[in-house]
């Protein structure tokens, strides 16, 4: 009797299993539902998209994994005299450079709450930016750290009639991997400048479109940990490269970056400054540590634009499929900005993903739409930005219910191993 009941259970399980097998296949054009724009606009959450607007690139605090970290490739050049009067020694300078990269990334990783305006509710979002020291693979043993003993370009004069702010000769002569790495040059202040009482000899820099100059490291170089002071100097210039303006000017394009009140360069200067100093990365203040949502959005908009020529400095981490970067959509999500993804996408039961702009899928990556899930492509472009192929879109079906694919406008599906038939 007991055996019979067991058999019955096994039989029921087999029957049930046969009946409920999930099928998975790549979509054909017959799977596509079409929706016109007017119909789409009637759907809550659907909007007319201003392509490239910074708002579309602010990391989503509910889904931080939808904004993968951008790694900016950098290298460093220490400029010195032919008799190396400034050197802390190549070994120590190398250690210093590695420390500077570490400290820089500490700041990118630990965004700080804005001081201004007082009692603000400005969200503290992850920057999703890092830098990565990048050697030249064609130079054996290269570390991405270079030493130049050349009297012509040792000194940096930041202001005054002899200023060298815009001089580019050292980049033309010594730049390495210019088409893929952001070159950072480290200078000493000119001795004549240091004699002047009005010259500001502290850390500073300039971003000249495709490379960065930093000054102040030699002059304040006293111990191994000094790079903690210099990290904001470097990050400030990197942020310029990706389109951020100084936050003390009114039209920096961000409403959430009030400038510091005049002369309050630090909270510690006076009781008044205690509430009026800024700590924004793009202000000239003692603590340049905070990035606002608008600033982060602006940087990511630049990094995501195929037309922006500084995109070339970003490590193409999206050219390799990673299991850990698999995105699972379980609720209603709208991607208004462009993305370069590093994992598969699965839209689960109850999930709705609407894509409006460009999405690069990683080589071998795929989008899977589960029964009860929906993918809407609203004039979107799905492609692979590495000159390779991604697999394509697959739908799953269970008990007659299948994942749903909706086209609005004219979506473009490119570089798919299993294209639409
Ligand atoms: Zn600046």
Tell me: the pLDDT tens digits for 282-314?
988 888 899 999 999 999 999 999 999 999 999
Which of 288, 299, 297 has its CA nearest to residue 235? 288
315 C-alpha to ligand 1 centroid (Å):
24
**Distance, CA 239 to ligand 1 centroid (Å)?**
9
Residue 181 has pLDDT above 90, yes or no: yes
pLDDT in tens, 110-158: 999 999 998 999 999 999 999 999 999 999 999 999 999 999 988 888 7
- Å from CA of 329 to ligand 1 middle: 39
Lowest mean pLDDT among 248-257, 318-327, 352-361: 248-257
What separation in Å is there between the alpha carbon of 170 and the centre of ligand 1?
20
Give tens-digit pLDDT for 316-344.
999 999 999 999 999 999 999 999 999 99
Residue span of the structural domain in which 278 resides: 70-304
Q: How far apart are CA 19 and CA 13, in angstroms?
A: 10
Do the domain assignments include residue 59? no
Q: Looking at residue 2, what is its pLDDT?
A: 58
**Cα 183 to averaged position of ligand 1 atoms, centre (Å):** 17
Last residue of a domain, one of 304, 335, 350: 304
- Measure 324 CA to ligand 1 centroid, in angstroms: 36
Rounded Cα gap, residues 334 and 349, in angstroms: 16
Contact of 123 with 293, CB cutoff 8 Å: yes
300 & 331 share domain: no
Query: Under a CB-based contact definition with an 8 Å cutoff, are residues 217 and 203 in contact?
Result: yes
CA dist 11 and 45 (Å) reads 47
Instruction: Judge whether 137 lies within some domain.
Output: yes
Quick one: 417 exposed, middle or buried, by C-beta within 10 A (0-12, 13-18, 19+)?
Answer: middle
How far is it, in rounded angstroms, from Cα 248 to Cα 259? 4
Span from the CA of 237 to the centroid of ligand 1 (angstroms): 6
**Whole-Å CA distances, 400 to 370, 397, 403:** 12, 6, 10
CA 351/CA 367 separation, integer angstroms: 13
For tokens 């990118």, name the residue.
108
pLDDT at 15 over 60: no
Domain count, the chain: 2
Digit-coded pLDDT (tens) for 268-280: 888 878 878 889 9
Copy the structure tokens of residue 376: 């809407």
User: Are 286 and 378 within one domain?
Assistant: no
Q: What does the mean pLDDT of the chain come to?
A: 89
Whether the per-residue pLDDT at 12 is higher than 70: the answer is: no
Cα separations (Å) of 354 from 40, 336, 340, 370, 376? Answer: 11, 8, 16, 15, 5
Cα–Cα distance, 265 to 285 (Å, whole number): 4
- The verdict on 327 and 223 lying in the same domain is no
- Percentage, residues of the chain above pLDDT 90: 67
Ligand 1 mean position to 115 CA, how many Å? 19
User: Does some domain include residue 153?
Assistant: yes
Mark whether 181 and 227 lie in a shared domain: yes
Domain final residue pick, 238, 273, 304: 304
* pLDDT-above-70 percentage for the chain: 90
Q: If you average pLDDT over residues 175-194, what whole number do you get? A: 90
Structural domain includes residue 254: yes
Both 347 and 261 in one domain: the answer is no
């Amino acid at each position: 009797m007991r055996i019979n009941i067991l058999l019955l259970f096994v039989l029921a399980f087999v029957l049930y299993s046969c009946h409920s097998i999930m099928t998975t296949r790549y979509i054909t054009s017959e799977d596509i539902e079409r929706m016109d724009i007017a119909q789409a606009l009637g759907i809550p959450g659907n909007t007319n998209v201003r392509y490239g607007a910074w708002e579309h690139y602010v990391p989503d605090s509910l889904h931080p994994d939808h904004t993968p970290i951008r790694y900016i490739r950098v290298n460093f050049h220490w400029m010195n005299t032919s008799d190396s009067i400034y050197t802390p020694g190549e070994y120590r300078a190398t250690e210093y450079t590695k420390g500077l990269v570490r400290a820089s990334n500490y700041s990118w990783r630990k965004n700080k709450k804005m001081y201004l305006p007082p009692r603000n509710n400005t969200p503290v979002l992850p920057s999703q930016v890092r830098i990565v020291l990048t050697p030249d693979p064609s130079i054996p043993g290269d570390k991405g750290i270079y030493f130049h003993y050349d009297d012509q370009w040792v000194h940096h004069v930041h202001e005054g009639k002899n200023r060298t702010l815009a001089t580019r000769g050292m980049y033309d002569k010594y730049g390495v991997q210019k088409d893929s790495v952001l070159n950072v040059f480290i200078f000493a202040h000119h001795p004549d400048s240091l004699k002047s009482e009005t010259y500001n000899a502290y850390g500073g820099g300039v971003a000249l479109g495709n490379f960065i100059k930093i000054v102040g490291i030699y002059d304040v170089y006293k111990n191994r940990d000094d790079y903690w002071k210099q990290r904001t100097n470097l990050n400030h210039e990197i942020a310029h490269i990706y389109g951020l303006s100084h936050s003390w000017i009114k039209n920096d394009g961000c409403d959430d970056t009030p400038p510091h009140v005049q002369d309050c360069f630090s909270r510690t200067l006076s009781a008044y400054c205690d509430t009026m100093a800024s700590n924004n990365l793009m202000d000239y203040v003692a603590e340049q540590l905070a990035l606002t949502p608008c600033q982060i959005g602006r940087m990511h908009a630049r990094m995501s634009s195929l037309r922006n020529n500084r995109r070339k400095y970003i490590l193409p981490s999206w050219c390799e499929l990673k299991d850990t970067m698999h995105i699972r959509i379980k609720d209603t999500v709208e991607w208004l900005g462009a993305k370069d993804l590093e994992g598969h996408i699965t839209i689960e039961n109850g999930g709705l993903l609407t894509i409006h702009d460009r999405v690069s899928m990683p080589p071998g990556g795929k989008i899977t739409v589960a029964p009860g899930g929906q993918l809407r492509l609203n004039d979107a472009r799905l492609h692979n930005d590495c000159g390779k192929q991604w697999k394509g879109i697959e739908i799953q079906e269970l008990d007659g219910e299948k994942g749903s694919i909706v086209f609005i406008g004219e979506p473009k599906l490119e570089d798919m191993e299993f294209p639409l038939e």
